[in-house]
Amino acid sequence: MKENTNQKGNGSRPRQTYDETYKRHAVELTLRPGRTIKAVAEDLGITPWTLYRWRELYAPRPAGASTAPGQRTPEETEEENRRLRAEVLRLREREIVLKKSLGILSETPESGMPRSQR
């Protein structure tokens, strides 16, 4: 349902507001096969960019998708934490081994080791 608001005296078009039912119906039209967003927008008298924004808000999400971009379910977060903790342990062990090997390689030869003779 369209309503005129904000009538301007400078000759520009008045700003249109649409209720949620209208927006959801428009999004449903864009999801039907054979209809482009541009064609639906022209039929409804709105811009394609408006329909793209409405699709972000009202289009059904694919199964398994997060509720919002960047958000994860608690199970996904816990799984990532387990994976990251295991990686931290592995990297700490690698660091210890590298420190020990660096210490061994940087030692000067002891007196008990044979010297090269010329």
Tokens 């409804």 found at: 44
pTM: 0.43
Question: How many CA atoms does the CB half-sphere of 33 hold within 13 Å?
Answer: 0
The residue extents of the domains of the chain are: 1-61, 75-105
* DSSP-derived secondary structure letter, 46: S
* Rounded Cα gap, residues 25 and 40, in angstroms: 11
How many C-beta neighbours within 10 Å does residue 51 have? 20
Name the packing angle between helices 37-44 and 20-31 (round to 10°): 140
How would you write the pLDDT of the chain (118 residues) with one tens digit per residue?
A: 555 555 555 666 677 888 889 999 999 888 888 888 899 999 999 999 999 999 888 888 766 555 555 677 888 899 999 999 999 999 999 999 999 988 888 877 666 666 666 5
1: which DSSP letter?
-
pLDDT of residue 73: 86
